[in-house]
Chains A and B, each alone.
Chain A
């Protein structure tokens, strides 16, 4: 075992951009599998809130009920205090209750001669911790549908806790940028090329972080990726710092859960 391994995985934060909800960091001295597990968990297993059931009382808009329900489901709901809410599948109630859900009502009628936009601003939440996300005071909110004079939407939306491996609406991230080996030294990528890859392909955004190989350098077939450049961009429902933190806790919990069961077995 070499000394580099003994220290274990390392992390270096590069920058945080609150306005764009982006956290940029480097994971190094680390296995591809660990980096990839972290990436996958941030995208698919960090729980958030999203509208999951819709009771439609009235819908005379041009959009059909299913379309409207789908659009409601995709609205980002603030999930900073997600720990206070349980999953319905772990809850004692039959369908939904206060402990496992938040009710949002949408009640809009257009009485003017001009069309009325129904937006996420019209959703009234029963829980101040779980409301539609707005980037600023001026943010008009996601448009749900448009109403003409006399049209009306009246519905109860039930938001539940869930993860994105069930439905992408629960994902806390808009994107997780993930790059390693910007100069393709490991040859994990094959570039489509006319004549010369170096001339035709731009260097990756993290190219300056690593030394480019010389044209005559031999291929190191034993080399492994060890530096991973991440940019976590949240949807706004959760701070990107929390997303990373929670993802790490989730990898931990996952392994611990299996270990507990494994310890009951005998060889």
Chain B
């Protein structure tokens, strides 16, 4: 194909030798860092940003997608001196994991309550 259409793999595949997440400490602002996360979009970026902002130790959290054709976002975090951006990001991501697991359990309970259980994780759901 001789056009400038981006390759299909560019949406998903992390290039050889690169890691999903990288961190650059800010050289001027104390307790601040920029995280670059590859092959993710607003779905994850906004989720992390919103969760971080709930933490009182977080002074700043914001994200941007530097280029619309590159599936990457950068997340900037500044915290108080009690902690650091990496630690706080890990803690808040664990919170998200817990919340989502919890939500899934509640969803399953609701299905049972409505007599709608027996899905993919329970049996075959081929009823339509």
Contacts and interface: CB of A to CB of B under 8 A. Distances in A.
The answer to whether A and B come from one shared complex is yes
Interface of A: 8-13, 16, 18-19, 21, 25, 27, 31-34, 36-37, 40-41, 44-45, 80-81, 83, 89, 135, 165-166, 236, 239, 241-242, 244-246, 248-249, 251-252, 254-259, 261-267
A80 B101 contact: no
Contacts of B100: 34, 248, 251-252, 255
Interface residues of B, number: 53
16 contacts: A11-B110, A19-B128, A25-B110, A31-B51, A81-B124, A135-B128, A241-B116, A251-B47, A251-B100, A252-B97, A254-B40, A254-B43, A256-B97, A257-B20, A259-B90, A262-B93
The B contact surface, by secondary structure, is helix
A15 to B, nearest CB: 8
Nearest to A263: B90
Given A89-B12, A262-B93, A267-B87, A248 B128 contact: no
Contacts of A37: 43-44, 46-47
B59 interface: no
Contacts of A27: 103
Interface of B: 8-9, 11-13, 19-21, 23, 37, 40-44, 46-47, 49-51, 84-87, 89-90, 93-94, 96-104, 106-108, 110-111, 113-114, 116, 119-121, 124-128
Nearest to A134: B128
Contacts of A12: 110
A241 B97 CA distance: 20
Contacts, number: 143
Contact of B21 (A241, A258, A266): A258
Contacts of B89: 262
Contacts of A254: 40, 43-44
B107 A259 contact: no
Contact of B120 (A8, A16, A45, A242): A242
A241 B46 contact: no
Given A13-B114, A36-B46, A80-B125, A8 B20 contact: no
A13 B110 CA distance: 6
Contact of B99 (A8, A21, A36): A8
B110 A33 contact: no
B104 A248 contact: yes
Contacts of B9: 89
Given A31-B50, A258-B93, A245 B107 contact: yes
Given A241-B111, A261-B19, A267 B125 contact: no
B127 A262 contact: no
A264 B86 CA distance: 11
A265 B104 CA distance: 29
Nearest to A256: B97
B93 A166 contact: no
Contacts of A165: 11, 41
A33 B104 contact: no
Contacts of B47: 33-34, 36-37, 251, 255
Given A45-B43, A265-B23, A11 B107 contact: yes
A265 B21 contact: yes
B49 A248 contact: no
Nearest to A241: B119
B57 to A, nearest CB: 13
Nearest to A135: B128
A8 B102 contact: yes
